[in-house]
Amino acid sequence: MKAVTWQGPRKISVETVPDPVIQQPNDAIIEVTSTAICGSDLHLYEVLGPFMTPGDIVGHEPMGRVVEAGPDSNVRPDDRVVIPFQIACGSCYFCTRGLQTQCEVTQVKDQGSGAPLFGYSQLYGSVPGGQAQFLRVPHADYGPIKVGDELPDHRYLFLSDVLPTAWQAVEYAQRSPGESVAVLGLGPIGQFAARIAKHHGLTVYAIDPVAERRQMAARHGVLVYDNSDSSIEAIRDATQGRGPDAVIDAVGMEAHGDPESAFAKIAQRSVQYLPDKISQPFMAKAGLDRMAAIYTGIDLVRRGGTLSLSGVYGGQASPLPMLSLFDKQLQITMGQANVKRWVKDILPLVEDPADPLGVDDFVTHRMPIDQAPEAYEMFQKKDDGCIKVVLEPHRSQ
């Protein structure tokens, strides 16, 4: 089969690799019909190389048809399914509490990490990912989300990651209708976080430096601003000088905009070229994130408010302004999305003919899998108005 593989920092290639096979009685194999490139994939592309091995199959936003099912799985051939990005058992202490990303059965204990993620480095189990023509799905007795046949893939595909991640970011912001939230970053997660917050009855402000991203969000009633000091002041003015009740950071470890982030960017890039025995411990114990977004959030949110982090952070030595956090009495919530905790809330909305979350206005590029290297570069550089790319593994060029 064809698969998108990591070959080095900012180097992605499409290779022919062996088809996956059933390994456990609760496994399933799906033929992937659509698979998306996530902003988190860019962290592998740019930052997390020390935890990758050339040839690793990437991708964690797939859906498709079951072609083979183990006897203990909960699916059958020809079932149409969406695959959550994390692998969880569904019945352990954490899973039954809606914390599937912390699954006790599947935790990557040798790395000190939670549940394994498809296509996401040694830190999360080195599980072959979903940007491929076929995918082995462990724990298919729990994970796959069965969907109907009537709607196109893009209505369901984002149940794999983007929609639950955005939904959790809004839930973790802990706000009520009539209150306000600012979303930092209007990439895929920020787009849906802003729309979901609107759906929840919040006033939504959003900041992003890219005009096309602001225009997309504005089509859905979001109040948009560029990434400037005047935008911060405008949002403060609109919130009686206090700042919004919550801020959602949908940017994460590769933010831009302050001297510290510029320094961290140099450090992140430099460590990619160290030997693994040096670079892995450095990243695991002393890695730095680019912190411009979280610093902005801490400054912008009102006193007593909430900072909800959905952008991925990976540094262990990233400095936080503890005086400001303590003085402003802020709550900080964060974490990988617990996909199946939120699916029951989201599924009726993606199937609603009225499309209340605007799923039909989200994908900007659809490309065959052979064009994945160009797609990654375009997404990373934000060229051609690229906001969300869907790869179609069985489509010819």
Identify the residue with better confidence: 146 or 10.
146
Check residue 310 and give its pLDDT: 93
Token pair for 358:
């605007």
| Residues 330-347, mean pLDDT to the nearest whole number | 97
Q: How far apart are CA 165 and CA 84, in angstroms?
A: 11
The pLDDT-based confidence of 217 (bands split at 50, 70, 90) is: very high
Contact predicate 281/291, CB 8 Å = no
Give the C-alpha distances (Å, rounded to integers) separating 76 from 66, 83, 146, 160, 227.
6, 14, 10, 19, 49
The pLDDT-based confidence of 268 (bands split at 50, 70, 90) is: very low
The pLDDT-based confidence of 49 (bands split at 50, 70, 90) is: confident
Question: What is the C-alpha radius of gyration for the chain, rounded to an integer number of angstroms?
Answer: 20
Asked whether residue 346 carries a pLDDT value surpassing 90, the answer given is: yes
| Residues 148-172, mean pLDDT to the nearest whole number | 98
| Residues 323-335, mean pLDDT to the nearest whole number | 96
- State the chain's mean pLDDT as an integer: 91
Asked whether residue 290 carries a pLDDT value surpassing 90, the answer given is: no
DSSP state of 321: -
Check residue 309 and give its pLDDT: 96
Kindly report the length of the chain. 397
**pTM greater than the 0.95 cutoff:** no
The pLDDT-based confidence of 179 (bands split at 50, 70, 90) is: very high
Give the C-alpha distances (Å, rounded to integers) separating 256 from 35, 228, 264.
28, 12, 10
Backbone angles phi, psi at 146, to 5 degrees: -75, 135
The pLDDT-based confidence of 266 (bands split at 50, 70, 90) is: very low
Q: How far apart are CA 28 and CA 46, in angstroms?
A: 31
Asked whether residue 263 carries a pLDDT value surpassing 50, the answer given is: no
Percentage of the chain lying above the pLDDT 90 cut: 80
Q: Which candidate, 146, 181, 195, places its Cα nearest to that of 351?
A: 146
Domain 2-161+338-392 in CATH 3.30.420.40? The answer is no
pLDDT, one tens digit per residue, over 78-125 is: 999 999 999 999 999 999 999 999 999 999 999 999 999 999 989 999
The pLDDT-based confidence of 46 (bands split at 50, 70, 90) is: confident
Asked whether residue 48 carries a pLDDT value surpassing 90, the answer given is: no
Query: Per CATH, the architecture of 165-334 is what?
Result: 3-Layer(aba) Sandwich (3.40)
Give the C-alpha distances (Å, rounded to integers) separating 367 from 6, 39, 62.
18, 17, 14
Check residue 275 and give its pLDDT: 56
How big is the CA angle at 38 (ends 57 and 348), to the nearest 5 degrees? 115
Helices (H) and strands (E) in the chain, counts: 12, 16
DSSP string for 322-363 = HHHHHHHT-EEEE-S--HHHHHHHHHHHHH-TT-TT-TTS--
Q: How far apart are CA 70 and CA 72, in angstroms?
A: 6
Check residue 224 and give its pLDDT: 98
Asked whether residue 274 carries a pLDDT value surpassing 80, the answer given is: no
Percentage of the chain lying above the pLDDT 70 cut: 90
Residue carrying the six token digits 């790395």 = 111
Q: How far apart are CA 114 and CA 123, in angstroms?
A: 9
So where are the chain's domains?
A: 2-161+338-392, 165-334
- Does residue 12 sit in helix, strand or coil? strand
Check residue 43 and give its pLDDT: 82
